Every structure is written in structure tokens, then in C-alpha cells.
Amino acid sequence: MPFSRELWIEREDFAETPPKGYFRLFPGNEVRLRYGFVIKCIGYDAASDSVRATYYPDSKSGTSGADKYKVKGNIHWVSARHAHAAPVRLYDRLFRVPAPEGIQDLNPASMQVVTAQLEPALRDARADDRYQFERHGYFVPDRADPGVFNRTVTLRDSWTQK
């Protein structure tokens, strides 16, 4: 995956004022970019909602220098210059309750469409391909609408077993 000066990270991976036990990115903290370098947050600009960070060139995952950096958090990222925006359909349960009794139990959020920043390799995704978007679930390219991804399975089930 290409690395560049500007990166996209997931919103959940940064907190200006982190809660106790938060191991992701916040001012003064270091984290590893998954399969990449260790970075240190040196500031946050609320007006542009952008994080400023430095990286350690000798910290790339899989290299001999990477072992000297001990960080607690790993975050996902994609190069802003190389990423491409794509619609992603997030399907959820059709009903809000386990045993629906009628139309009033329909889940109004059973499908949400978001725009995601995807890694460059997904530009060439074929309808029969399957992907895991880490922490979000499993996705397939839409057969009728190339360039759109549909979530097929979430990673966690929010309904408890009885």
C-alpha cells in the first residue's frame, strides 16, 4: 500500500481528549500505522479537523528497526493521494427487535450509504471478490453497480443469545 505525506485515518482512531485506556492517536501519543510506520501526534487543528504527526522512518513494520518502537495502539490508514472515494452500503438488521410484530418494528437504519476512502487495489475489484474491511465487516462489490461495495456480514452481533 502506498505511503504519502497525507493519510486518511478512521475518525474513531483519534481523540483530542482521550478517555482513560484509549490507545489510539491523541496529541503526544505514538501509534503504529497498520503494516506501516510508527507516528507521533504533534497537534490537532479543529478548524480543518486535521491531525498533524511525525513518523519515524526506521520504524516500518517488518524491518529490523521496527522492534525498537513499543506502542500500544495500531490504527488503519490509507494514503490520501492514492485513495479513492467509493459508496459503501452498510446493511443492518431489517427489524429493530428479534421477534417483529409488524411494520412498526422496521429498522429505519437498516441500510446506510457512506462514502469511504479505499485503498487503490480496490479500484479493480470484481463482483466475485470478497473483502474484509477491518473492524467493519465483510464486503463485496455490487454486481449491478461497479465501484459500490455492499456489507454482507458485520464483525459483531449486537443481539445477545437467549
Q: Which run of H or E residues covers position 30?
A: strand 30-33
Q: Which domain holds residue 46?
A: 7-79
Asked if residue 127 and residue 106 are part of one domain, the reply reads: yes
161 vs 76, residue with greater confidence: 76
Is residue 33 in some structural domain? yes
Is residue 97 in some structural domain? yes
What span, in angstroms and rounded, lies between the C-alpha atoms of 138 and 155? 8
Is residue 147 in some structural domain? yes
pLDDT of 134 reads: 87
Asked if residue 73 and residue 11 are part of one domain, the reply reads: yes
18 vs 157, residue with greater confidence: 18
Which of 50, 79, 108 is the last residue before a domain boundary?
79
What is the dihedral angle through the alpha carbons of 115, 119, 125, 131, rounded to the nearest 10 degrees? -80
- The model carries a pTM of 0.81
CATH for 92:
2.40.240.10
* Best CA proximity match to 149, nearest among 134, 130, 157: 130
Give the mean pLDDT of 127-155: 93
Which of 79, 114, 142 is the last residue before a domain boundary?
79
pLDDT of 155 reads: 84
When divided into structural domains, the chain yields a total of 2
Is residue 162 in some structural domain? no
Is residue 160 in some structural domain? no
What span, in angstroms and rounded, lies between the C-alpha atoms of 3 and 122? 16
For residues 127 and 152, the answer to whether their CB atoms sit within 8 Å is no
